[in-house]
Amino acid sequence: MNIALVAHDKKKEEMIHFSTAYKDILKKHTLFATGTTGTKIEKATDLQVEKFQSGPLGGDQQIGAKIAEEKMDLIIFLRDPLTAQPHEPDITALLRLCDVHQIPVVTNLAGAEIVIRALERGELDWRKIMKEKKD
């Protein structure tokens, strides 16, 4: 599965801990991330991550394009709800695209823990079935 990992500045450490804790699950999938987050994940875990621009420079929109092309299966976006984000419209657009294209998206560590375990158990395999029907 194609998984995007995104974290606001104050949530990057949480994303590093999450990626480290679930490295064995994540390494079985194709990982994407916005710039700094992807670099930090790679450095901490040795996981291979395809990096986009940082969020404010268009990374959120690049992930959104993958969603629109049906080339993304899961978004783990650790958002900081207490800090204003200058690119909030891009974030809202990304979340809207997830809803439009039926892409599972979680925005906090609790949701990420649940969805990564569901991924491990095969509960997101329906994404593969949907793709096969479209092909």
Candidates 9, 24, 46, 60; catalytic one: 60
60 is catalytic: yes
C-beta atoms surrounding 129 within 10 Å:
8
Cα distances (angstroms) measured from residue 100 to each of 44, 53, 116: 33, 23, 22
> What is the DSSP annotation of 26-52?
HTTSEEEE-HHHHHHHHHHH---EEE-
H-helix segments, the chain? 12-21, 23-26, 35-45, 59-68, 88-100, 109-121, 126-134
User: Where in the sequence numbering do the catalytic residues fall?
Assistant: 60
